[in-house]
C-alpha cells in the first residue's frame, strides 16, 4: 500500500457551511429533519473522507465514508431524528476527516483506508462543526 498522507499544515477540504441547521417542530413527539452540506476537495489528489458525529443515536450521516475526486465535491446528508424533548443541540458535533490518497489507492474502500491509518497509529485530524 502506498503512503497515506494527511497534511494538517494545509487545508484539504472546504465546507460550504460552518453550522448545520435543522428545522424542528417542538410540538411533535418525534422530530425529524434533514439538511446537507457540500464538501469540496481543495487538492489535486483523491481524498478519503469520513464524517463522524457525537450523537449517532440522533443523527444519520450519508455517506459517512466516501472518496472525493481531485478538485471534486460531494454532498453529505444528515437526518436528525429525536424521540425526546430532553435533547441539547449544543452537544451535537460533527467531525469531517480527510486523508490524501495516492492514485494507486484511489479505488480502495475509504473505510479500509481509515482503518489502515488507525491500525498503523497514524494521526488523523479534521474539521469540526456544530449543530446550530
pLDDT digits (tens, 9 = 90+) for 99-132: 888 888 899 999 999 998 888 887 776 776 666 5
Residue closest to 132 by CA, chosen among 21, 3, 29: 21
pLDDT tens-digit series, residues 15-53: 877 777 777 766 666 678 888 989 999 888 899 999 999
Tracing cell 424542528 back to the chain, one arrives at: 24
**Is the pLDDT assigned to residue 92 strictly greater than 60?**
yes
Quote the cell numbers at residue 115: 482503518
Amino acid at each position: 500500500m502506498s503512503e497515506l498522507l494527511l497534511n494538517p499544515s494545509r487545508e484539504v477540504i472546504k465546507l460550504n457551511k460552518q453550522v448545520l441547521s435543522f428545522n424542528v417542530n417542538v410540538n411533535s413527539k418525534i422530530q425529524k429533519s434533514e439538511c446537507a452540506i457540500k464538501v469540496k476537495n481543495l487538492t489535486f489528489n483523491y481524498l478519503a473522507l469520513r464524517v463522524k458525529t457525537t450523537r449517532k443515536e440522533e443523527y444519520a450521516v450519508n455517506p459517512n465514508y466516501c472518496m472525493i475526486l481531485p478538485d471534486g465535491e460531494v454532498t453529505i446528508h444528515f437526518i436528525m431524528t429525536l424521540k425526546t424533548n430532553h435533547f441539547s443541540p449544543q452537544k451535537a458535533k460533527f467531525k469531517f476527516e480527510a486523508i490524501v490518497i495516492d492514485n494507486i489507492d484511489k479505488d480502495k474502500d475509504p473505510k479500509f483506508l481509515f482503518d489502515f491509518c488507525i491500525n498503523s497509529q497514524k494521526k488523523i485530524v479534521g474539521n469540526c462543526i456544530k449543530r446550530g
